[in-house]
A and B are shown apart, each in its own frame.
Chain A
Amino acid sequence: MSSVPASAFLALALILFCIGLYGALTKKNTVIVLISIELMLNAVNINLVTFSKYGITPSITGQVFALFAISVAAAEAAVGLAILIALYRNKKTVNIEEMDTMKN
């Protein structure tokens, strides 16, 4: 049938998710943290589309769900960047370690 097994796609999604997770947890720059979160969402979308083709009952639902996830991710990026700009206006920094106003 198909020469590429489904587990190869799942493994690729796993690697991309781990790269995104590592970037989101270690990077100091808030923009890079936001973009790492986008990478994680993308990896999850690969899983959804993979199972829409290689699942027990292939159907279009996985792809429709991936589309909804993409639109939610776009909205999240816009709002996250707006929060970043508002924070930058008040604190003049994008370093994530200095954004600890709610800590004290």
Chain B
Amino acid sequence: MTFSGEFIAFMGLALVAIIGGVLLLNLGKVIHMVVALIFTFVAIAGIYVLLSAEFVAAVQILIYSGAITIIMLFGIMLTKHDDDNEPKTGKWRKLFLLLGILGFAFAVYIGIYNFDIEQAPSKLHENNTFQIGEALYSKYIIPFELTSVLLLVALVGAIILAKNDKKKEADEE
């Protein structure tokens, strides 16, 4: 087996991504968990670059390690967390869940471990953003517009859900 630069880059990025995920499961404080997950998100952006998807990598950095992490940090800071009293009950439940997930992982791994189809030469790395823009505005124009409607609905819905209902509180007093 030859260790090419691409292979080394893949191994490093995959290691960082998995370590970030494992830290998410094992760290004690909630803030630390979210910060550990930033490593995973940035490493996944690197994986996208290896897969010749530069634009998706940039979007991943912007949306996931930028916006979603910040939104989750705000969610943590606006609520109160008592990290210490993690109840020790439910050990059997955790064990069964772990077994079930390992079974699931094994079943899927059997399906993919010697996944080998003939690789056709791809032109995705040439003018990647240009290709995505062309596809978005010609072939996928209707899903694109529907996405904007979805984002508007999510924006309005989030504001209505989270805003303080002053009128109702005044009625109760």
Contacts and interface: CB of A to CB of B under 8 A. Distances in A.
Interface in A12-64: 12, 14-16, 18-23, 25-26, 28-29, 31-32, 34-36, 38-39, 42, 45-46, 49-50, 52-58, 60-61, 63-64
Interface in B68-111: 68, 71-72, 74-76, 78-81, 86-87, 93-94, 97-98, 101-102, 104-105, 108-109
B124 A35 contact: no
B47 A29 contact: no
A14 B105 contact: yes
A63 B124 contact: yes
Given A8-B10, A60-B131, A19 B4 contact: no
| Residues of A in contact with B, size category | 35 or more
A94 B72 CA distance: 13
| Residues of B in contact with A, size category | 35 or more
Those 9 A-B pairs whose CB atoms lie nearest each other, nearest first:
A58-B122, A75-B154, A19-B21, A82-B161, A82-B158, A82-B162, A3-B4, A7-B115, A10-B112
Interface of B: 2, 4, 6-7, 10, 14, 17-18, 21-22, 24-25, 30, 33-34, 37, 40-41, 44, 47-48, 50-53, 55-56, 59-60, 63-64, 67-68, 71-72, 74-76, 78-81, 86-87, 93-94, 97-98, 101-102, 104-105, 108-109, 112-124, 128, 131-132, 135-136, 140, 143, 147, 150-151, 153-155, 157-159, 161-162, 164
Interface of A: 1-12, 14-16, 18-23, 25-26, 28-29, 31-32, 34-36, 38-39, 42, 45-46, 49-50, 52-58, 60-61, 63-64, 66-68, 70-79, 81-86, 88-89, 92, 94
